[in-house]
Amino acid sequence: MWQKIEAAPADSILGLTDAFRNDPNPQKVNLGVGVYKDEKGTTPILECVKAAEKILLSEEVTKSYLPISGDPLYGREVQKLLFGADSEVIKTGRAVTAHAPGGTGALRVGGELLKKFKPTAKVWISNPTWANHKGIFTTAGFELATYDYYNPTTKSVDFEALIASLETVPSGDIVLLHACCHNPSGVDLNCEQWKIVAALGKEKGWIAFLDFAYQGFGDGVNEDRCAVEEFAATGVDFFVASSFSKNFGLYNERCGALTVVSPSAKEAVVAMSHLKATIRVIYSNPPAHGGLVVALILSDEELHKQWLAELTTMRERIKAMREALVAGLVKRGVKEDFSYITSQRGMFSFSGLSDSIVKWLRDNKAIYVVGGGRINLAGLTSSNIDYVCDAIAEVLNA
Ligand code: LMR
Helix pair angle (102-117, 131-139), 10° resolution: 40
In the chain, what percentage of residues exceed pLDDT 90?
97
Q: How confident is the model over 21-68, as pLDDT tens digits?
A: 999 999 999 999 999 999 999 999 999 999 999 999 999 999 999 999
Closest CA to 51 of 303, 327, 318: 303
pLDDT interval class at 335 (50, 70, 90):
very high
As a whole number, the mean pLDDT across the chain is 96
For residue 333, the 8-state DSSP code is T
pLDDT interval class at 398 (50, 70, 90):
confident
Three-state SS annotation for 21-84: HHCCCCCCEECCCCCCCCCCCCCCCCHHHHHHHHHHHHHCCCCCCCCCCCCHHHHHHHHHHHHC
Q: Is the CB of 181 under 6 A from ligand 1?
A: no
- Compute the distance between CA of residue 366 and CA of residue 380 in angstroms, rounded to an integer: 14
Strands 256-261 and 95-100: antiparallel
Please provide the size of the chain in residues: 398
Q: What is the predicted pLDDT for the residue at 137?
A: 98
Helix pair angle (72-83, 226-234), 10° resolution: 100
Rounded to the nearest angstrom, the distance between the alpha carbon of 212 and the centre of ligand 1 is: 13
Q: What is the predicted pLDDT for the residue at 159?
A: 98
Q: Is the CB of 132 under 6 A from ligand 1?
A: yes
Per DSSP, the residues of 88-118 read: HHHHHT-EEEEEESHHHHHHHHHHHHHHHH-
The answer to whether residues 256 and 211 touch, using CB atoms and an 8 Å cutoff, is: no
Q: Give the list of residues 6+ apart from residue 107 with CB closer than 8 angstroms, or none.
A: 133, 136, 137, 209, 211, 241, 258
Residue 18 above 90 pLDDT? yes
Q: Whose CA is nearest to atom 2 of ligand 1?
A: 34
Closest CA to 229 of 210, 207, 255: 210
Q: How far apart are the first and last CA of the chain?
A: 50
Rounded to the nearest angstrom, the distance between the alpha carbon of 19 and the centre of ligand 1 is: 15
Q: Is the CB of 241 under 6 A from ligand 1?
A: no
Strands (E) across 80-235 are located at 95-100, 122-127, 143-148, 150-151, 156-157, 174-178, 207-212
In the chain, what percentage of residues exceed pLDDT 70?
100
- pTM reported for the whole predicted model: 0.96
Which of 132, 318, 347 to mutate to test ligand 1, by most ligand atoms within 8 A of the CB atom?
A: 132
Alpha carbons within 13 A on the beta-carbon side of 188: 28
- Compute the distance between CA of residue 371 and CA of residue 369 in angstroms, rounded to an integer: 6
Residue 366 above 90 pLDDT? yes
Which of 11, 18, 20, 33 to mutate to test ligand 1, by most ligand atoms within 8 A of the CB atom?
A: 33
pLDDT interval class at 190 (50, 70, 90):
very high
Q: How confident is the model over 279-292, as pLDDT tens digits?
A: 999 999 999 999 99
Q: Which atom of ligand 1 is nearest to the CA of 34?
A: 3
Q: What is the predicted pLDDT for the residue at 351?
A: 82
For residue 236, the 8-state DSSP code is S
pLDDT interval class at 230 (50, 70, 90):
very high
Rounded to the nearest angstrom, the distance between the alpha carbon of 33 and the centre of ligand 1 is: 5
Q: Is the CB of 13 under 6 A from ligand 1?
A: yes
Say whether 145 sits in a helix, a strand or coil: strand
Could you check whether the bond before residue 184 is cis, i.e. omega within 30 degrees of 0?
yes
Residue 372 above 90 pLDDT? no
Tell me the mean pLDDT in the region 85-96. Answer: 97
Q: What is the predicted pLDDT for the residue at 211?
A: 98
